[in-house]
Amino acid sequence: MDYGTIKYRFANSPAVKILRSEHAPLIISFFILQFKHKNRLSMPLNEMRENLAAYIDDLRTHGIKEDFLNTPDGYLDMWCDEGHRFLRKYYETGREDATLELTAETEQVLTWIQELEKREFVGTESRFLRIFGLLQEISQKSNTNVEQRIAELRQQQKNIAKEIAEIQKTGVVEIFSETQIKERFYEITDIAYRLLADFREVEQNFKEFVRGLQKERLKTKINKGQLLKYVLDTDQQIRESDQGQSFYAFYQFLSSPKNQENLDILIRTVLELPDIKKIHKNDRLIRNLKHHLIDAGEKVITGNLHLGEQLRRFLDEKILIENRRSALLLAEIKKHAFHTAQNPPKDREFITLEAGISIGSMMERTLWSPPLYETVLRTPVAHASTAADLTCLFSDHYIDRLLLKKNISQVLSGIPETTLKTVTDLFPVTRGLSEVLGYMQIAHEEPPHEINGGSQERIVLGESGRGLCIPQVIFRKEITQKEISLKELT
């Protein structure tokens, strides 16, 4: 940390504000009494108010001369406001009374204050062995050398076999001394306190995420898709972070009924030891450790579930706003409709709609039916005895060019040339566009017929009366050699 960071922390950190507060001894001692000595994660507001009033009266009874001018409600409101953030106040589902809990910064202060208390002794052996064991575990679990790992396991196997043989030979089991037992139990207690306090930080990360979600919600230009992407991306980042992976691995382990049963057995076994029974101060924390861990884990999981609730509320509000906007638009349309009814437009055609509008009615939709899947055989099928009739494949819309030429010849029997329109007037089109294209193909391929692109003519298609505008098609009667000779003589 540099100078600027430390200065900012001294001015804004709730932990530093507690230590610099005028009533820091009252705040810290009351929080330790209510949350640590009672091993509670949260407390109802009414109970907290009554306990604070009783605690202040008890201090005055014991001769504490400090002036506590504020009321219990005033103190609790001040400790929960944004300027202090010593406590967090929230409302649980189904409860009218608010609930109070310590913030992560307040947990850090209480942990630091408790560590200032002089201990019976400082355990060095257990801590060093724990450091040594963690280093050994990291070294073993990060080594990808197969042969080296097998050698380490075989060495452990030899050590275990040697210890078993020694016990069978002497009938004596090596056990911890009283000091070693106490040292390790103190370390367990210290770790348990820190673990429960760390849950506040994990939970605080989820709460900051919800707070960020609420900030995004206030942006007017954000849409549902952007908000959903923000929720899913942030939730994934929390789960994939180092802290998230560690927490969910812990919660998955603790959620196993078998692991819970093993934890209960271990706690009962350790607490029944004569050397542990002499330690009364931390007995209650370890005895209820499983319940504390489960409650703390469930609070974090519940905070994660609140993200979905926040998203649902936002979407509901967005839909409500859209519905209100639609209602306003409909009211505006009705207003203009009533005004138009009283003052109709003078022009008969006062509005023009684009052609080709297709109206899709809901009742026109067919019911869903499951798709049919064809079965393909892997073995070839024997040839059929009779050939299949494929004439139907070529009979649809067949255009007889000989018939078209006959129609043209009949029209040209008394005149030298004619048009496609004249032909179709005498011989109406019955095959649609295909028949018209047949006439045009004849004019294109067989001179002296021609297609005049500079002029247009309209061809009627069948009895429907629908027409088709195409370039003018001219059919000419073919002049024979005899007619040419007669023209030359004349």
Q: How many CA atoms are closer than 13 Å to the CA of 428, on its beta-carbon side?
A: 9
The pLDDT value recorded for residue 157 is: 92
Measured between alpha carbons, how far is residue 225 from residues 138, 248, 307, 308, 324 in Å? 43, 27, 15, 14, 21
Q: Which pLDDT band, with edges at 50, 70 and 90, does 248 fall under?
A: confident
Q: Which pLDDT band, with edges at 50, 70 and 90, does 52 fall under?
A: very high
Q: How many CB atoms neighbour CB 217 within 10 A?
A: 16
Average pLDDT for residues 355-375, to the nearest whole number?
Answer: 75
Q: What is the DSSP letter of 471?
A: E
CA nearest 86: which of 74, 78, 97?
A: 78
The pLDDT value recorded for residue 301 is: 76
Question: What's the chain's average pLDDT?
Answer: 79
The pLDDT value recorded for residue 107 is: 86
CB 260 within 8 A of CB 269: no
Q: Which residues pair with 450 in a beta bridge?
A: 474
The pLDDT value recorded for residue 249 is: 83
Q: Which pLDDT band, with edges at 50, 70 and 90, does 218 fall under?
A: low
**CA–CA distance, 448 with 417 (Å, rounded to integer):** 10
Angle CA 181–187–189, to nearest 5: 105
**CA–CA distance, 152 with 211 (Å, rounded to integer):** 50
Q: Does residue 379 carry a pLDDT above 90?
A: no
Residue by residue, DSSP assigns 161-218 as: HHHHHHHHHH-------HHHHHHHHHHHHHHHHHHHHHHHHHHHHHHHHHHHHHHHHT
The pLDDT value recorded for residue 307 is: 62
Q: Does residue 271 carry a pLDDT above 80?
A: yes
The pLDDT value recorded for residue 74 is: 92
State the angle between helix axes of 289-342 and 242-254 in degrees (0 to 180), rounded to the nearest 10: 110
The pLDDT value recorded for residue 306 is: 66
Angle CA 294–297–298, to nearest 5: 85
pLDDT (tens digit per residue) in 466-482: 888 899 999 988 766 55
More confident residue, 427 or 342: 427
Q: Does residue 393 carry a pLDDT above 60?
A: no
pLDDT (tens digit per residue) in 406-447: 888 888 888 888 999 898 888 888 888 888 888 888 988 888
Residue type, 420: L
Share of the chain above pLDDT 90, in %: 9
CB 178 within 8 A of CB 275: yes
Average pLDDT for residues 84-106, to the nearest whole number?
Answer: 85
CB 423 within 8 A of CB 407: yes
More confident residue, 275 or 59: 59
CA nearest 73: which of 89, 49, 102, 98?
A: 49
Q: Does residue 193 carry a pLDDT above 90?
A: no
pTM value is: 0.48
The pLDDT value recorded for residue 489 is: 58
Q: Does residue 79 carry a pLDDT above 90?
A: yes
Tokens of 259: 């692991």
β-bridge pairing 87-90 and 42-44: unpaired
Q: Give the domains, in start order, of the chain with CATH numbers.
A: 3-116 (1.10.10), 175-321 (no CATH), 401-489 (1.10.10)
**CA–CA distance, 386 with 380 (Å, rounded to integer):** 17
Q: For 149-158, 199-208, 364-373, which range has the lowest pLDDT when averaged over its residues?
A: 199-208
Measured between alpha carbons, how far is residue 165 from residues 168, 169, 173, 174, 430 in Å? 5, 6, 11, 13, 107
For 359-428, give the secondary structure using H, E and C: CCCHHHCCCCCCCCCCCCCCCCCCCCCCCCCCHHHCCCCCCCHHHHHHHHHHHCCCCCEEEHHHHHHHCC
**CA–CA distance, 117 with 32 (Å, rounded to integer):** 13
* 102 three-state secondary structure: strand
Computed on alpha carbons and rounded to an integer, the radius of gyration of the chain in Å comes to 46
Q: For 127-131, 273-277, 461-465, which range has the lowest pLDDT when averaged over its residues?
A: 461-465
User: First CA to last CA across the chain, in angstroms?
Assistant: 121
Q: Does residue 50 carry a pLDDT above 80?
A: yes
The pLDDT value recorded for residue 214 is: 58
| Helix, strand, coil % over all residues of the chain, rounded to 5 | 65, 5, 30
pLDDT (tens digit per residue) in 290-336: 887 888 787 777 766 666 666 666 666 666 777 788 888 898 888 88
Q: Which pLDDT band, with edges at 50, 70 and 90, does 350 fall under?
A: low
Q: What's the maximum distance between 2 C-alpha atoms anywhere in the chain?
A: 153
Q: Does residue 169 carry a pLDDT above 60?
A: yes
Q: For 113-117, 161-165, 204-208, which range has the lowest pLDDT when averaged over its residues?
A: 204-208
CB 256 within 8 A of CB 293: no
Measured between alpha carbons, how far is residue 177 from residues 166, 183, 306 in Å? 20, 10, 49
The pLDDT value recorded for residue 49 is: 92
Q: Does residue 30 carry a pLDDT above 70?
A: yes
The pLDDT value recorded for residue 161 is: 92
Average pLDDT for residues 76-80, to the nearest whole number?
Answer: 92
**CA–CA distance, 40 with 32 (Å, rounded to integer):** 10
Average pLDDT for residues 376-380, to the nearest whole number?
Answer: 66
Q: Which residues pair with 99 in a beta bridge?
A: 44, 90
Q: Which pLDDT band, with edges at 50, 70 and 90, does 347 fall under?
A: confident
